[in-house]
Structure 1
Amino acid sequence: MLFLARMLLMGVHFIIAGTLGLLLGLFRPFNPDNSRLCARLYSLPALCMLRLRVKTEVQSLFGQQQSCVVIANHQSNYDLYVLGRVVPPRTVSIGKKSLKWVPFFGQLYWLAGNVLIDRGNAFKAKQAMLTTTDTLRHKNTSIWVFPEGTRNLGEGLLPFKKGAFQMAIAAGVPIVPVCVSTYAKRLRINSWTSGRIMIRSLPAIPTLGLTLDDLPELMARCQTLMQQTIGQLDEQLAKA
C-alpha cells in the first residue's frame, strides 16, 4: 500500500515539477542556471516523499572557480532525484535527443539549455561536442556527463565513453568526479524509510596541457578513483 501511495504521489509531483520547470524555461529560455533550479524542483520534494536520506560531501564540486566537466555514475531513473540535490550553479548536462519528447520533462530539459545529442548521427554528435567545448571555454558554464552512457543498475561502473574526457581536454578545463553509493537495488520504497545514500565529489583533476594521447590514461584514472570511492561509501553505509 505504501509503495502504491508513493508512486501515485511521485507521479503527481513529476507532472507538477515538470509544469513549473517548463514555465521557468519559457520565462527565461536556455538560461544555464535553469538546470540547477529544475533539479532542485524535482529532487527536494521527491526525497521527502520517499523518505530517502542523502548525505552529501561535495565541497570540491561547489568550490570550483571555473567551468568544469562533472562526471558521475549513473544507476537508475532515481538519479534525477538523488543527484538533483547537488547540481551546482550554471551547470547543464548532455542527454539523448529522444529526451526532448518526454512530456513536460523533455521540453523543460531542452529549454534549460541542456545539450541534446543524436547518438545515431556521428556528424551531429560531433557538432554538439564542439558546441559544448565553446560553452566550457567562453560561457562560464559547466557540463554534467554520465560517462557510462547508460544506467548501470547498481551493478558497478560500466566502461567509460570518451566524450566527456575529450571535451575537458579540448577546453582545457578540470574534471570533477561525483560518486554516489550503490543504491539502485537497495531502495525500499515499500518501507517507511526508503534507504540511505552518500554522495561525494572528488578533487578536480586538471586537463590543461593534456592531449588526446593522454585520453586513455585520464579515463582509467577517473574510473579507478570513482570505483574506489564508491566502494568506500558502500562500506561506510554498511558500518553505520
Structure 2
Amino acid sequence: MLITLRMLLLCVHFVLASLLGLLLCICRPFNPDNTRLCAKLYALPALKILGVRTVLDMQSLHGVPRPAVIVANHLSNYDLFVFGQVVPPRTVSLGKKSLKWLPLFGQIYWLAGNVLLDRGNAASAKRAMTTITQTLQERDMSIWVFAEGTRSHGRGLGPLKKGAFQMAINAGVPVVPVCASQYIRHWNLNRWHSGTIALKALPPLSTTGLTLDDMPELMDRCHAQMKACIDQLDQAASPPQPAHA
C-alpha cells in the first residue's frame, strides 16, 4: 500500500518539477547552471517521498576546481533523484539523443544545456566529443558521465566505457569518480524508512601529461577505486542482518 502511494506522489511531483524546470529553462535557456538547479528540483522532494536517508561525503567533488569530468556508477532510473542532490555548479551531463523526445523531461534536459549524443552515428558522436573537449578547455564547466553506459540494477559496477576518459585526457582535466551504494539491493519502498543510500566522491585522478596510450591504465585504476568504494558503501548502507538463533 505504501509503495503505491509513494509512486502516485512521485508521479505528481515529477510533473510539477518538470513544469517548474521547463519554466526555468525557458527563462534562461542553455544556462550552464540549469542542470544543477533542475536536478535538485527533482531530487530533494523525491527523496522525501521515497523515505530515503542519504549519507553524503562529497568533499572531493566540491573541492575540485572546474573543469572536470565526473564519472558515476549507474544503477537505475532513480539515479536522477539519488545523484541529483549532489550535482555541482556549472555541470552538464552526457545523455542519449533519444532523451530529447521524452515529454517535458526531454525538453528540460536539452534546454538545461546537457549534451545529447547519437551513439548510433559514429561521425555525429565524434563531432560531439570534439565539441565537449573544446567546451571543457574553453569554458568554466564540468561534465557528468555515467561511464558504464547502461544501468547495472544492482549487479555491481560494470566495465567503464572510454568516452569520458578520452574527453578528460584530450582536455587535460581531472576525472572525479562519484560512487553510490547499490541501493536497489537494500531499500524497501513499502517501509516508512525505505533505507539508506551512501554517496562518496573519490579524490580526482589527474590526466596531466597523459596521452590516449595511457587511457587503459587510467580506466583500470578508476574502475578499481570505484569498485572498492562501492563495496564499502554497500556495507555501510545495507541493513543489519538478524542474528541466528
Structure 2 length as normaliser, TM-score?
0.96
Contact 2:186 2:239 in 1 (8 A): no
Residue 161 (structure 1) aligned with residue 167 (structure 2): no
After superposition, what is the alpha-carbon deviation per residue over 1:218-240, rounded to whole angstroms, capped at 9, x for unaligned? Answer: 00000000000001111223477
Matched, 1:125 2:154: no
Separation in structure 1 between the aligned mates of residue 39 and residue 47 of structure 2, nearest angstrom: 12
Structure 1 segment 1-240 matched on structure 2, within 5 A = 1-238=1-238
What TM-score does the superposition give when structure 1 sets the normalisation length?
0.98
The structural deviation recorded for 1:185 is: 2.9
> Helix, strand or coil for the counterpart of 1:31?
coil
Identity of aligned residues (%): 61
Distance 1:238 1:162 in 2: 31
Cα displacement (A) at 1:103: 0.9
Is contact 2:196–2:238 with CA below 8 Å preserved after alignment?
Answer: no
- Does the aligned pair in 1 maintain the 2:186–2:238 contact within 8 Å? no
Aligned AA (2:208): L
How many residue pairs get aligned? The number is 240
Distance 2:205 2:70 in 1: 10
Tell me the distance in 2 between the aligned counterparts of 1:227 and 1:64. Answer: 21
Name the CA distance, whole Å, in 2 between partners of 1:238 and 1:163: 32
What 5-or-longer segments of structure 1 have no aligned partner?
A: none
- Maintained 8 Å contact 2:68/2:136: yes
- The runs of 5 or more residues in structure 2 that have no matched partner are 241-245
1:98 partner SS: helix
Match of 1:185, SS?
Answer: helix
Aligned amino acid, residue 21 of structure 2: G
Deviates more, 1:184-193 or 1:80-89: 184-193
RMSD (Å), alpha carbons: 1.0
Shift, 1:55, TM fit: 0.7
Letter in 1 for 2:198: M
